[in-house]
Amino acid sequence: MNDLAGPADPVTVWHRLAGGCVLLDGFHALKHALRFDAEVPVAVTTDRRTALALADELAPDVRLPLEALLTEVPETTYASLVPRPHPTGVAALAVRPSRAANLDRLGGAARTAPVVVLDNPRNLGNAGAVIRLAAGFGVTGVVTTGTLDPWHPTVVRGGAGLHFATAVERLTVPELPPGPLFALDPEGDDIRGVKLPDDAVLAFGSERSGLSAELRARADQLLALPMRPQVSSYNLATSVAMTLYHWSLGSA
């Protein structure tokens, strides 16, 4: 175990940086952040040997940076640093990408994958799930409108550290990146008859009230997912997954 009284005391570093960094909660969040070049100044674990064994088994590509980063701390110390202990006993802090960097990525003139917009989402877990699956599809970014912070610790936990694999930012509707805007709505055209371009902006309404009037007015086209009659709606993350899968097929 490292000497916690030394000049590189990770607990001291943690407390100094916590207010300006993103919490990576668990081994998998840290693994993904490292894979996508996040700046991680401090990482702790309750069992260094077990954490490194996990890396050997599941993520040998990040084993070396993990070995250099991880400091073992007592379970009581670890529990004092996180709001809810993770089963893997691993936590880290990462530097959040700048707004300017995210805007550059979102507004790129030659986007080769869509931007997903969550219009005034309410559920932190849903937002995290969307970011995780969006990263899996290789989208350009995920944007939220409204009051929900897409970098809230619960969202980052739900996203398993994959915020660093895409551009994640909160914007107003007038600030949305350029590109044809397709908004998902039960009154829209059947999505199966539409080819979604790579530079599409794909907007999804809130879990409770659907699309805002402001975003609906800005949309170039409303699209509907196929759904059995008398079923009211899909889960938000499911709707995003279905839409991105349709885009990935490139079928009209």
**Structural domain range at position 230:** 99-249
Domain membership of residue 21 (yes or no) is yes
**5 in a structural domain:** no
pTM given for the model: 0.90
The CA–CA distances, whole Å, from 47 to 71, 112, 236, 249 equal 9, 42, 37, 43
One domain, residues 146 and 205? yes
Domain termination residue (choose one: 60, 95, 130): 95
* Chain Cα centroid distance, residue 166: 7
The answer to whether residues 236 and 220 belong to one domain is yes
Domain closes at, from 95, 120, 137: 95
Last residue of a domain, which of 95, 110, 144? 95
Mean pLDDT by 10 residues, the chain (252 residues): 54 90 94 96 96 96 95 95 94 95 87 95 94 96 96 92 96 95 94 95 88 94 90 87 95 44
Question: How many domains are contained in the chain?
Answer: 2
The verdict on 91 and 106 lying in the same domain is: no
143 with 214, same domain: the answer is yes
Distances (CA, A) of 58 to 54, 122, 157, 158, 229: 6, 33, 19, 19, 43
Percentages (nearest 5) of helix, strand, coil residues in the chain: 40, 20, 40
